[in-house]
Amino acid sequence: MSLAYFNGRFAALDEPLLPIEERGHQFGDGVYEFFRVYEGQPFMLEEHLDRLYRSADLIRIEIGQSREELKGIMDELMQRSGLSNGDIYLQVTRGIAPRNHPFPAVPSSLSLTIKPWRELPPATHQEGVGILLHPDERWLNCHIKSLNLLPNILAKQAAVDQGCFEAVFVRDGIITEGSSANFYLVQNGAIRTHPLSNRILGGIAREAIQRIADAAGIPFIEEAFSPDELFAADEAFLTSSGVELVPVVTVHGHGSIGSGVPGPIAIELYRQYAALTRQPAQG
The pLDDT of residue 170 is above 60? yes
Percent of residues, the chain, with pLDDT higher than 90: 96
Q: Is residue 174 part of a domain?
A: yes
Contact predicate 258/266, CB 8 Å: no
In a shared domain, residues 130 and 111: no
Band (pLDDT 50/70/90 cuts) for residue 243 is very high
Average pLDDT, the chain: 96
Give Cα separations from 53 to 6, 50, 56, 232 (angstroms).
18, 5, 5, 39
What pLDDT is stored for residue 126 in this prediction?
Answer: 94
Band (pLDDT 50/70/90 cuts) for residue 211 is very high
In a shared domain, residues 169 and 231: yes
In a shared domain, residues 107 and 127: no
What pLDDT is stored for residue 282 in this prediction?
Answer: 38
Q: Is residue 148 part of a domain?
A: yes
Query: Cβ neighbours of residue 2 under 8 Å, at least 6 residues apart?
Result: 12, 13, 81, 113, 114, 115, 116
Q: Is residue 201 part of a domain?
A: yes
The pLDDT of residue 106 is above 50? yes
CA quadruple 40, 30, 200, 53: dihedral, nearest 10:
-60
Single out the residue in 75, 91, 115 at which a domain terminates: 115
Active site residues: 145
The pLDDT of residue 281 is above 80? no
What pLDDT is stored for residue 20 in this prediction?
Answer: 96
In a shared domain, residues 54 and 148: no
Single out the residue in 71, 89, 115 at which a domain terminates: 115
Domains in the chain: how many in total? 2
Band (pLDDT 50/70/90 cuts) for residue 278 is confident
The pLDDT of residue 263 is above 70? yes
Across 220-249, average pLDDT = 98
Q: What CATH number does the domain containing 24 carry?
A: 3.30.470.10
Band (pLDDT 50/70/90 cuts) for residue 283 is very low
What pLDDT is stored for residue 279 in this prediction?
Answer: 62
The pLDDT of residue 176 is above 50? yes
pLDDT in tens, 179-188: 999 999 999 9
Band (pLDDT 50/70/90 cuts) for residue 13 is very high
The pLDDT of residue 27 is above 80? yes
pLDDT in tens, 152-162: 999 999 999 99
Q: Hey, how many other C-beta atoms are within 10 angstroms of the C-beta on 108? A: 21
Q: Which of 117-121, 146-150, 256-260 has the lowest mean pLDDT?
A: 117-121
In a shared domain, residues 110 and 150: no
Which of 266, 265, 258 is closest to 234 using CA atoms? 258
In a shared domain, residues 128 and 109: no
Give Cα separations from 38 to 87, 97, 112, 202, 239 (angstroms).
9, 37, 17, 21, 17
Across 112-139, average pLDDT = 96
Across 200-227, average pLDDT = 98
